[in-house]
Amino acid sequence: MDPQQMAHTGPRKKRARQMGASMAATPQDIKFQDLVLFILEKKMGTTRRGFLMELARRKGFRVENELSDSVTHIVAENNSASDVLDWLQVQKIKASSQLELLDVSWLIECIGAGKPVEITGKHQLVVTEDYSASLSPSPQKTPPPAVKISQYACQRRTTLNNHNHIFTDAFEILAENCEFRENEGSYVVFMRAASVLKSLPFTIISMKDTEGIPCLVDRTKCVIEDIIEDGESSEVKAVLNDERYKCFKLFTSVFGVGLKTSEKWFRMGFKTLSKIRTDKTLKFTQMQEAGFLYYEDLVSCVTKAEADAVSVLVQEAVWAFLPNAFVTMTGGFRRGKKIGHDVDFLITSPGSTEEEEQQLLHKVVNLWKREGLLLYSDLIESTFEKLKKPSSKVDALDHFQKCFLILKLHHQKVDSGKSSQLQGKTWKAIRVDLVMCPYECHAFALLGWTGSRQFERDIRRYATHERKMILDNHALYDKTKRVFLKADSEEEIFAHLGLDYIEPWERNA
């Protein structure tokens, strides 16, 4: 940050940013030593919890990231005392009689007053008399019923622990080929098959294991059978040897190159990027020029350490202008992935004016330009309006203001030197997407931008077919009641849909 910019932000804003980045208060910041708070994420959501933690810390409260023996007060939202105690039991933590179980309304009053307020009956979560009896194990336990696998990814928990890589990798190659050929129907067939197999807690070793599994049609079963019998799929082998597939795979690896451009270059007879780069008759967009210029960096994977370093850059830049803004890393990294191709961030700022929100990304981009960190930017203004109802098209892009960037990340910014040292360079070009959304939409936008792609397709399909609702990145609309359903967290969206909450790291469908 240049000296002129630091003069504008002032020491108070700088301190607020540092506190947010560490998500912990230093001992001298704590005013109320006798209180140790823990805010329960269950039914509240990550975004709202993080926001309340930061506000409480700024007011001098000690708020723990993890539950420990030192915690004196547990704060929860939309939970009964029984819900909290059930949660503690699952965590294998014994609740102390001295532990206060409180509704979030108490914390909000404390934040407003800038000090602890008196705990009254309206704040306390009271344990019912028959609760202890309900904790006792039943003398006659019946075995759990056989679990039926849902056709919807939003009703399955899919971690990164995939037991069926050999099959899902094959389906993803076939799906990608269908995408290159703009065959939407076949693309969906292969992606649904890959998605359901990723959720299985066992490895398929015979065709009998596929019985009762939804989303597997004759075509996908043939691929599975091929692999079981021969160790590979003849259909996949044919795709990998197909000239068109290989060219499209190569061309679309360039930032800014889509299917139409790939089709054009393939028809012109190009097979390599070096020939395309040096051809004088071709004209490239600014995005494609940047894609070629930083190609080696952009096709190498972004590590989690690099993503975290970018996160600090984004937070510092955003908080320089809107100290109360909330910045959340979305996409694959939010789902627990260790590597990715870019880093996505959702930004929302409760209490900010529409003009402040509209100007933020412009100011951030200009700041990085002055600091010499901006290699490329494409800022798309918001077309967000109060829509009559959400878009019924599943993959429709949202209408929020967004910026597609390439940033220069210096190696010393990356923890433990985990960044790739490419050809002796001291920096690496990293793809970054920033999305600015109004606070009332942040839960829907967070759900949409977290992914995975198949999870998003299925939760929207479920909303439409099972609940007669329309869900997109802006809102949830109940077609039966003809009303928009409000949600302050992802948990509330799942609740509106009648779904069990699926954690981000369980959405790798």
- Residue 201's CB: how many other CB atoms inside 10 A? 9
Q: Are residues 93 and 178 in the same domain?
A: no
Distance CA 320, CA 363 (A): 9
Q: Which of 297, 342, 458, 472 is catalytic?
A: 342
The per-residue pLDDT for 399 is 87
Q: Is residue 222 part of a domain?
A: yes
Residues annotated within the binding site for Mg(2+) are: 342, 344, 433
Q: Is residue 505 part of a domain?
A: no
Q: Is residue 509 part of a domain?
A: no
Q: Which of 344, 398, 458, 472 is catalytic?
A: 344
Q: Is residue 142 part of a domain?
A: no
Q: What is the mean pLDDT of residues 330-357?
A: 95
The per-residue pLDDT for 414 is 79
Range of the domain at 29: 3-133
Specify the residue for token string 């494409």.
378
pLDDT band at 385 (very low <50, low <70, confident <90, very high): low
Q: Are residues 153 and 220 in the same domain?
A: yes
Q: Is residue 400 part of a domain?
A: yes
Interhelix angle 442-450/453-467, rounded to 10 degrees, is: 120
Q: Are residues 82 and 178 in the same domain?
A: no
Q: How far is CA 204 from CA 154, 168, 171, 190, 223, in A?
A: 22, 11, 14, 17, 13
**Residue 346 in this model has a pLDDT that exceeds 60:** yes
Q: Tell me the whole-structure pTM to 2 decimals.
A: 0.71
Q: Are residues 158 and 37 in the same domain?
A: no
Q: What is the pLDDT of residues 263-320, one digit of tens each?
A: 999 999 999 999 999 999 999 999 999 999 999 999 999 999 999 999 999 999 999 9
**Residue 140 in this model has a pLDDT that exceeds 50:** no
Q: Is residue 143 part of a domain?
A: no
Q: Which of 133, 164, 186 is the last residue of a domain?
A: 133
Q: Which of 133, 160, 176 is the last residue of a domain?
A: 133
Q: Which of 29, 83, 169, 433 is catalytic?
A: 433
Tell how strand 62-63 and strand 36-39 pair up: parallel
Amino acid identity, position 437: C
Q: What is the pLDDT of residues 82-99, one digit of tens each?
A: 888 888 887 777 666 678
Least confident range of 2-6, 31-35, 275-279, 305-309: 2-6
Give the residue ranges of DSSP H helices in 120-258. Answer: 131-135, 165-180, 184-198, 218-230, 234-240, 243-251
pLDDT band at 238 (very low <50, low <70, confident <90, very high): very high
**369: domain CATH number?**
3.30.460.10
**CA nearest neighbour of 449 among 291, 299, 328, 354:** 328
Q: Are residues 335 and 446 in the same domain?
A: yes
Active site residue 344: yes
For CA atoms 309, 312, 318, 321, the dihedral sign is: negative
Q: Are residues 311 and 276 in the same domain?
A: no
Q: Are residues 184 and 97 in the same domain?
A: no
Q: Is residue 71 part of a domain?
A: yes
Q: What is the pLDDT of residues 424-454, one digit of tens each?
A: 789 999 999 999 999 999 999 999 999 999 9
Q: Are residues 263 and 381 in the same domain?
A: no
**58: domain CATH number?**
3.40.50.10190
Residue 126 burial by Cβ neighbours in a 10 Å radius (0-12, 13-18, 19+): exposed
Q: Are residues 175 and 92 in the same domain?
A: no
Least confident range of 6-15, 42-51, 80-89: 6-15
Q: Is residue 99 part of a domain?
A: yes
Q: Are residues 330 and 260 in the same domain?
A: no
Q: How many domains does the chain have?
A: 3
Q: Are residues 156 and 30 in the same domain?
A: no
Q: Do residues 218 and 286 touch, judged by C-beta distance below 8 A?
A: no
Q: Are residues 10 and 37 in the same domain?
A: yes
**Residue 54 in this model has a pLDDT that exceeds 70:** yes
**Residue 18 in this model has a pLDDT that exceeds 90:** no
**191: domain CATH number?**
1.10.150.110
